[in-house]
Structure 1
């Protein structure tokens, strides 16, 4: 059992060597450098463009690009040239990847009914990149896999009976105790940072509440929040409402500069 305890502590010890802070001050474990994450993001995006249908609708592309460009213009690092691609799919989704890549599915345009609502989603996804959440995810996956492999060796060497049962228990513990709670933290952090980005870009942050109300209607019933990487719709809406006092002045200041309107067409 001593060997097992040491084995399970090893990922934690490794994590301590690479701990940093997110933009909101939350502790993060990042095992990969910026160059590695940029390469991963670029490779993943290239593969997606090959595997999925890319839209050729010029109006939709211009509309999505207009919103995305206004949001990325508010990022502290302006060295990236962001690539925006619209995927022709009924999926109600969008994503952003390290290295400057944004993907939006046409199905999202039916739920995000105006530029402010779409800016909520794009701002949220870009915030994931800003806060290095992708690095966190792959770092945790690396540490979890390492811990599971070493635990398997330790259990076998110690002659522990019912090893498969123990490994299944360890797997569930890692999933619920490490990956999922941090996933929810990341989602909440991206909501907050994304709201700030969209407000600074001149998009109405109050529309974020309407967007997630629309998402709730489109998504139907959800499972228990405890076993989801995303906050429940009600929790998310409540948090967004609480953030309005903080981000509304940013929006009002941006509106005075008369930002370009993004026409849906």
Structure 2
């Protein structure tokens, strides 16, 4: 039985890889869009039914406008880099929802929500583009499916350990150590790497859309001020620290502008 689990893990790890078009790297992903997207679309529709969607306002129009520019820029980049049709199954939708939570998200397949609570932090259309680019990047890089894949492997590892260890006391110790170790040593770093990747991809997309990528670091300075410095240590968090993000975004902004220039974009708002 133990050998069967190991063989299963190796097979999944080798067979279930997909290339990230933005990095060129192979990623663990054994959930195809045909499986993930319908679930995401259904969850999105249910969320909209259960929450207050704001329409017909200056802010809601801005969310849609920025979203359309960002998704169009993503399509331009993908087509120019050998991935035409990559977004053919995406069904873009941009909604502003009344909620004081400082957050925004994009589900697999391009379903986007901005909460009104984040607008005082974004402040401007360019600020919205920073957040929009980041959230769209998560969807473009299949981060949702990758997290599902990693979670499945984490569960398989736990089952394999419980099957292999016959002694109840040792099995108990394994479960405690495995739970903490796999979370801190695998799942959290995995999540932080996705956030960093989305920051970098999002920066390029917003620049191609004509928004100044230098605003990204400024937005995260405001985000840091809003949080009052209250955050867990980075190694215990799903996200990089504010300071790490600010430093990274500052370094990457000129690169994003250089990438935008390849598409004839030299002026930014």
What interval of TM-score do these two structures reach, taking the shorter chain for normalisation? 0.7 to 0.9
Give matches, 1:12-161, under 5 Å: 12-22=10-20, 23-76=22-75, 77=86, 79=88, 80-155=90-165, 158-161=166-169
Whole-Å Cα distance in 1 between the matches of residues 121 and 53 of structure 2?
Answer: 19
Give matches, 1:247-258, under 5 Å: 247-251=256-260, 253-255=264-266
Q: TM-score normalized by structure 2? A: 0.87
Whole-Å Cα distance in 1 between the matches of residues 25 and 98 of structure 2?
Answer: 36
After superposition, give the CA deviation of every residue in 1:115-150 in whole Å (9 maximum; x if it has no partner): 111100110000001111011011111111122123
What RMSD in Å do the two structures reach over aligned CA positions? 2.2
Q: Whose relative contact order is higher, 1 or 2, with alpha carbons under 8 Å and at least 6 apart?
A: 1
Structure 1 residue corresponding to 2:190, chosen from 182, 194, 198: 182
Q: Do structure 1's residue 234 and structure 2's residue 233 form an aligned pair?
A: no
Aligned partner of residue 28 in structure 1, secondary structure: strand
Whole-Å Cα distance in 1 between the matches of residues 10 and 52 of structure 2?
Answer: 41
Aligned partner of residue 84 in structure 1, secondary structure: strand
2:209 corresponding residue in structure 1 = 201
Q: Do structure 1's residue 246 and structure 2's residue 255 form an aligned pair?
A: yes
For structure 1, which segment, 210-219 or 146-155, has the greater mean C-alpha deviation from structure 2 after superposition? 146-155
Gap runs ≥5 in structure 2: 76-85
Q: Do structure 1's residue 214 and structure 2's residue 225 form an aligned pair?
A: no
Number of aligned residues: 254
After superposition, give the CA deviation of every residue in 1:44-98 in whole Å (9 maximum; x if it has no partner): 2122213322224522210110111100011234533411111100111111111
Gap runs ≥5 in structure 1: none
Whole-Å Cα distance in 2 between the matches of residues 238 and 186 of structure 1?
Answer: 17
For structure 1, which segment, 230-239 or 23-32, has the greater mean C-alpha deviation from structure 2 after superposition? 23-32
Aligned partner of residue 169 in structure 2, secondary structure: coil
Whole-Å Cα distance in 1 between the matches of residues 7 and 239 of structure 2?
Answer: 27
